[in-house]
Every structure is written in structure tokens, then in C-alpha cells.
Amino acid sequence: MNITQRKRILVTGGAGFLGSHLCQRLLHDGHEVICLDNFYSSSKDNILHLLDQPHFELLRHDVCVPLFVEVDEIYNLACPASPPHYQHDPVQTTKTSVLGAINMLGLAKRCKAKILQASTSEVYGDPQVHPQPEGYWGHVNPNGIRACYDEGKRCAETLFFDYHRQHGLRIKIARLFNTYGPNMHPNDGRVVSNFIVQALEGSPITLYGDGNQTRSFCFVSDLVEALVRLMDSPDDFTGPVNLGNPGEFTIRELAEKVIAQTGSKSELVFRPLPHDDPKQRQPDITLARSRLGWEPTIPLDQGLQKTIPYFAALLDKGLY
């Protein structure tokens, strides 16, 4: 890459699961990366291997506080994303989405930077339309225990579109469905990490409810490819665009796959279903296919094969 093609790119939440993979990809593509994180639910371990790269810079900073840097592009990923983490301090979760969006949009406006928002399938709530296309407005409980995340992300989308309409900002909205892979936090309470850790330890696999609720799981490298394509897409394409793997599985099927792949003797146990837990979720990715020429390449079985060794190594090193 020559110097004129190199961009200065800010990744908020850059030390998180997704952010760390994105930072690595952008550095690999030859860009300068500023990784911003307050380490609330992320780990420095995820980016240790990037710290000695000359075009990588780490800032410990909270997006709720304004930031002054000079950048060409912003990927706004900062926000705890697993239900136990975002419900731990729900007021802070809403602030992170809303104040974070305001601060990063303000930065983008001053720098005339292009800005991408990591929105979420949670904007569809417990969906009554299946699979979910972008035109579906969702079915969200505005005052339930997931609302701090769902409504925070919905408000962030509103802010992005108003900055676009009012100030002509170049925006991109990605609605991310469940994503998994190495660098997930072993303790984040999400289903893929929980099940793999439980299976490797031989402890019971905790199915919430009857395990018949569904999710669609996207391997992280597919998702990162989609984010980069979205950022690089023509300015008239703002999204929102669904990004996820349409392969849909019940949570029980996921448990069975994890048990089979780890050769675990863990048994299945049933626990109460958390409030407002969506019954089904599957992205309609027609728009991503047509506008980004993108679709996932790694099916669940293959992605689990790439993810299990990461957790096994953490357990071996006693890092969990």
C-alpha cells in the first residue's frame, strides 16, 4: 500500500473480541490503527501481539468522554455485548451506546471521517418476523432487562441517521448477529463460550429454558470481512445491513455439536430462561449479498473446530 492509500482508522472497543480481530485485519491491510478501549469487558491479552507494531496505537479511554484525535475512518464497536456484562451496569450500557455515539459522531463531523456503527440484531427484540430483514422495525420491550442494550443501540442508529441527514455525515450501520471465535472472553456468559468451557471442563452444559430457542452463529473472520466491505462500500449505501450467518440452530443442537467435537462427557442441565430472551433469530442477508457481495464462508462445525483450541489453550495455561 502506498502512503496515500493508508488511512488513519479509529476502532472503539478495539481490545474486545470483535475489535481485536478488526484491528489486526486493518493493520494487515496496511492502515494506521488507533485502538480505543476502557477495558470494561475486554482484555489487553487480545491485542498484546499488536502492541509492537509501529502503526498500532492503544488508548485507554471511555467513549462516554469526548475524544480529540485526527482520523479518516471510525469503527464504533465500544459497548459490552454479552447479556450478563451489559446487564451488570445497565445505566452505563445505555450511556456507552448513546453518549458514545454522540461523541464519535461529533469526532467524525469535525474530522469529516466516515463512521461505521456496530448495531445489533437486538434491535429486532423478540422478533415476530422470521428471518429478520432490515425493514422490520422489531419487537422490543422498552423497559425490560435487555432494553439498556437494545434501546441504546436503537438510539445510536437514530443519532447516526440524524447526523447523516442533518450534517451530511458518511455513515454505515451494520446489524451484527451472534458472532463467535477465538478472543471471546471465557467468562462473558455467552452461549458459545459457556458451552465450550463447560464441555472442556466436563461440567454440566447449562441450557436456559428448553433449549429450543434458536440463534444463527457467524464465525468472526467472516464478520470482519463484512465490516471492512461495508466501510469501503459507496457513500450512498448507509445500511442498516444485517451481517450474520443465516445457518440457524437450536441451542440444544449447539450443545450437542460442542459435546461431539470436544468428546466431552458433560451432561445437559436445564436452567430458567432469562427474561425477554428472544425465541428465534436468523438474519436475512439478501442486502449484504447484493450490496457487499458478501456471504459467510465458515459453517458452524468448522468455526467450532477453530474456536475450541483457543479455549483449550486458555484452560491449559490456567488463564481461566
Q: Is 190 in the site for ligand UDP (CB under 6 A)?
A: yes
| 272, 208 Cβ separation under 8 angstroms | yes
Provide the β-strand partners of residue 180. Answer: 219
Residue 320 a catalytic site member: no
Which positions from 234 through 293 interact with ligand UDP, judged by CB under 6 A?
251, 273-274, 277
Catalytic residue among 75, 86, 124, 149: 149
How far is 210 from 269, CA to CA, in rounded Å?
A: 10
Number of residues that bind ligand UDP (CB under 6 A): 15
How far is 32 from 305, CA to CA, in rounded Å?
A: 32
Of 187 and 238, nearer to ligand UDP (C-beta) is: 187
How far is 266 from 262, CA to CA, in rounded Å?
A: 10
Q: How far is the CB of 178 from ligand UDP (least distance, A)?
A: 5
Q: How far is the CB of 32 from ligand UDP (least distance, A)?
A: 33
Q: Is 183 in the site for ligand UDP (CB under 6 A)?
A: no
Near ligand UDP by CB under 6 A: residue from 206, 238, 280, 286: 206
Q: How far is the CB of 203 from ligand UDP (least distance, A)?
A: 11
Q: Is 196 in the site for ligand UDP (CB under 6 A)?
A: no
Q: Is 201 in the site for ligand UDP (CB under 6 A)?
A: no
Grid cell in block for residue 140: 422490543
Grid cell in block for residue 200: 472442556
Of 161 and 270, nearer to ligand UDP (C-beta) is: 270
Q: How far is the CB of 213 from ligand UDP (least distance, A)?
A: 4
Q: Is 83 in the site for ligand UDP (CB under 6 A)?
A: yes
Q: Is 82 in the site for ligand UDP (CB under 6 A)?
A: yes
Q: Which residues are catalytic?
A: 149
Enumerate binding residues for ligand UDP (CB under 6 A).
Answer: 82-83, 178, 190-191, 194, 206-208, 213, 215, 251, 273-274, 277
